[in-house]
Amino acid sequence: MSASSLPLAGRHALVTGGARGIGLASARALLARGARVTLLGRDGGALDAAVDSLASLGQVQAVSADIADEASVRQAFAQAEAELGPVLVLVNNAGQAVSQRFDRTDAALWQSMLAVNLTGTFHCIQAALPGMLAARWGRVINVASTAGLIGYAYVSAYCAAKHGVIGLTRSLALETAQKGVTINAVCPGYTETDIVRGAVTNIVEKTGMTPQAARAKLAERNPQGRLVQPEEVAETVAWLALPASSSVNGQAIAVDGGEVMTG
Which positions are catalytic? 158
DSSP 40: E
CB atoms closer than 10 angstroms to residue 99: 17
Cα dist from 253 to 139, 145, 189, 210, 258, whole Å: 15, 9, 11, 32, 11
How many angstroms separate the CA atoms of 132 and 120, rounded?
18
Q: Answer for the pair 64, 76: CB distance below 8 angstroms, yes or no.
A: yes
Measuring CA to CA, which residue among 108, 89, 111 is closest to residue 38? 89
CB atoms closer than 10 angstroms to residue 195: 19
How many angstroms separate the CA atoms of 100 and 228, rounded?
24
